[in-house]
Structure 1
């Protein structure tokens, strides 16, 4: 794990030049001295020149790897350890660099950690600040199982020990894989929230993860301040209208998410109204997919009014498979095709439109010169 990915230096200009690497111009890490008396971070200077040779970027000398000399001067090493840094995760400042490993492993409240009982098949991961809340029911469940299976008193003591030493195991971002963990209930939502708060996601596909409206509310709470996520997929979950309410409210304040997939989540016209209210103010979302939900003519009318009068940024809208959208919506669909200037793709395949309504809509697309719109009926 490259621990320096998780902190920033507070005041680089004030750091003594003798502590700065001659190549990367940052404070030395694992400092070494070359035969040409230049000081580098080990990882900076160990760029292969030949199989066993190194190349000095300061004076162009080359020499054998075995001739690198680790810096052993205690005053230099102590000065490097005392350089103040700021944690990128929790924003705590004035942490001595030498103590940062301990901070991230045991103290940082925004670090992503796993349950200490992972060896007992607990899949939970989340923020360290949420760990103790998780451990109480987790440990209680284990105590119940111990009683039922007549396990030893030592196992029970181990559980209480977990509560006392509840730092959790720090998971570097590269080790957080949601798809390979057997998450249950709302654990997936807690894990997603942790990832978003750590600002390491631009694309997140939560296909068929059993996420309910409660899980959506947990994820939505992290979307308010998220500045990195661009694509969020919830296909084949259990979000429903109540979950849409949480997501829509969060996206009113989010100006970074561009694509939202809510296919097959039992969303009705009520959920569409909530999304339409959000899209009146949100000018970042360009793709919205609502296929195979329970949206009817009222929802179609709401979206048409939105995209004609209030939103000119959405480019892709899919309502495929909403069979309750039928010929009663043909007028609003025609108006949408005629007046909207932003949509490039509009998908209404497998809805309840008759062939006659489809023919009329295609006819009006032609006479209104909307050939640039990819209209799928």
Structure 2
């Protein structure tokens, strides 16, 4: 039901009352013939889902949502004219059809944000408190300063992006340098190949000279053969003459002297001939050997010519590739020169950026100091602002109060890790004892305060101690009936200074939407809390939607959320919860059973974790 109550409910015509919820119809629908009964749309849908699909009256005809027809406009107008009273501001005689306009635009108790919300002011409250807050809002007073600070942070982000771009360009320049070095290495290899080809050409030239010498030797050999033939002809002539002399014995004596002379000459010629024969034989052997060597040289020359031809072709190809590489090298040299110029400009720009960045870092450091001081001042101002509320809960003559039994109970705890004060009836008198003994002296890591009598005053004192505590990791304050003001104190403490608390359990405290909004704003800032328990409270879809959006967009550390046994959570929040589960990467556990969720809503939740690994979703089983 919306946040209103009916004026003189007993006088409302009973024909306008739903038989299921016993309240005037909301979105009335009529059942088909023959029953033709009228019910609220949600009432009849819930009845059909949870019980049966048969008609509620005759229990005969099977029904579905398509069988439900809207009631007549006359009945809707009558219902819209019913007078209601706003539960927030107590304004009376509001027509029910105008209540939405009242709660959104006119109600002085409607929830609004501070006008300085754009510069991170976390305040939310009633509309009638807005002017008082704005007049004292420290964020509004510091608007110019905070706006300049936000702009400086944005500029710093831009400078960081520019530095990343510079690094990318520098990497690209290094790649170009490596490519140029590779081309130079290939060029060096080609030059070595060209030098080897020049060596082959020199060897070829030497071989050609040897071939020329062989040709000259062949010419000399041919001359010697001609001379030998001539010598043989002379010997033959001498032999013919001797034969002729023998035949002519008569003339023998006459020519005996000549014959002797000729014999001597013949002997000399014979000796010379033998020598020539030996020389000729030696020359022939040498010629044969030279011919063999010549054939080998010819084969070697042919092979050299083939190799030379291949080398010439390779040289042509290498020359073409070398020309191409030279052109590419020239292009890269030009590009390198251009990159060097750009790199020098970027270096100058980077030096200027680094100088500006250093200046901004120094300014940010100064701003952080100022922000810390302003935060302290804000805390003091808020303490003064809410001091009348706190004063109403203060205990007179508190300095003389003692609770020896409580101190002994805490001291007897077996370990300093856990201090369990469940059901110890702790009240405003005892909170200082708990802080001094459990948090300061024992430095416990887990503090359990279930089933006690804590008020907003106790929570304010405990919250102040959390600002300086560095050991407490788990805080459980369940079943204490905490007010929204108490939740506000706790949320503000965990929004700023505390950096150790990892688990916060606030179950069964009757926390309302306003309290959850305070806690959600805390989760926007807190980067330590990983477990958040809020089961069995009085939160509705409105604050659940806000919490889901905060977890989806603003929190990156939360791992476990418990919302079970919150009877006012319905299918209206399902889409927001589904988006939160799908888009938040840190969330691993979500418990939401025993709420007013339909089977379709539960099915949507189960489908939302299909792409998640080891995600723990706890809800009732689907029928």
> Shorter-normalised TM-score: what interval?
0.5 to 0.7
| Cα offsets for 1:246-294 (capped at 9, x unmatched) | 1111111200001011001111111111111111111111101000001
Query: Partner of 1:224 in structure 2?
Result: 467
Q: 1:183 to 1:372 in 2, by over 3 A?
A: closer
In the alignment, which of 525, 530, 549 is matched to residue 281 of structure 1?
A: 525
Query: Partner of 1:215 in structure 2?
Result: 458
Residues 1-377 of structure 1 aligned to structure 2 (within 5 Å)? 133-135=397-399, 174-175=411-412, 179=421, 183=425, 185-194=427-436, 195-198=438-441, 200-252=443-495, 253-366=497-610, 369-377=611-619
Shift of 1:344: 0.9
Per chain length, whose mean CA-contact separation is higher, i.e. which structure has more relative contact order (CA < 8 Å, sep 6+)?
1
- Cα pair 2:504 2:531 within 8 Å, conserved: yes
- Cα pair 1:308 1:339 within 8 Å, conserved: yes
Aligned residues: 215
Q: 1:179 to 1:332 in 2, by over 3 A?
A: closer
Distance in 1 of aligned mates of 2:442 and 2:412: 15
Distance in 1 of aligned mates of 2:604 and 2:426: 48
Shift of 1:342: 0.7
Structure 1 segments unaligned to the other structure (5+ residues): 1-130, 140-169
| Cα offsets for 1:58-93 (capped at 9, x unmatched) | xxxxxxxxxxxxxxxxxxxxxxxxxxxxxxxxxxxx
| Cα offsets for 1:166-220 (capped at 9, x unmatched) | xxxx979735887499655313322222232446211110110121222111211
Distance in 1 of aligned mates of 2:522 and 2:474: 17
CA RMSD, Structure 1 to Structure 2 (Å): 2.8
Query: Partner of 2:276 in structure 1?
Result: none
SS at match of 2:475: strand
Which one has the largest radius of gyration? 2
Distance in 2 of aligned mates of 1:275 and 1:262: 11
Shift of 1:226: 0.3
Q: 1:358 to 1:175 in 2, by over 3 A?
A: closer
Higher helix proportion: 2
Distance in 1 of aligned mates of 2:424 and 2:556: 41
Distance in 2 of aligned mates of 1:238 and 1:172: 24
Q: 1:206 to 1:133 in 2, by over 3 A?
A: same
Distance in 1 of aligned mates of 2:445 and 2:466: 12
Distance in 2 of aligned mates of 1:363 and 1:172: 49
SS at match of 2:590: strand
Distance in 2 of aligned mates of 1:205 and 1:181: 10
Structure 1 runs (4+) greater than 6 angstroms displaced: 170-173
Q: 1:254 to 1:359 in 2, by over 3 A?
A: same
Q: 1:294 to 1:133 in 2, by over 3 A?
A: same
TM-score by length of 1: 0.52
Q: 1:175 to 1:269 in 2, by over 3 A?
A: same
Distance in 1 of aligned mates of 2:567 and 2:420: 33
- Cα pair 1:196 1:223 within 8 Å, conserved: no
Distance in 1 of aligned mates of 2:426 and 2:577: 41
Distance in 2 of aligned mates of 1:173 and 1:214: 22
TM-score by length of 2: 0.32
- Cα pair 2:450 2:479 within 8 Å, conserved: yes
Query: Partner of 2:313 in structure 1?
Result: none
Distance in 2 of aligned mates of 1:329 and 1:222: 36
Q: 1:284 to 1:181 in 2, by over 3 A?
A: closer
SS at match of 2:609: helix
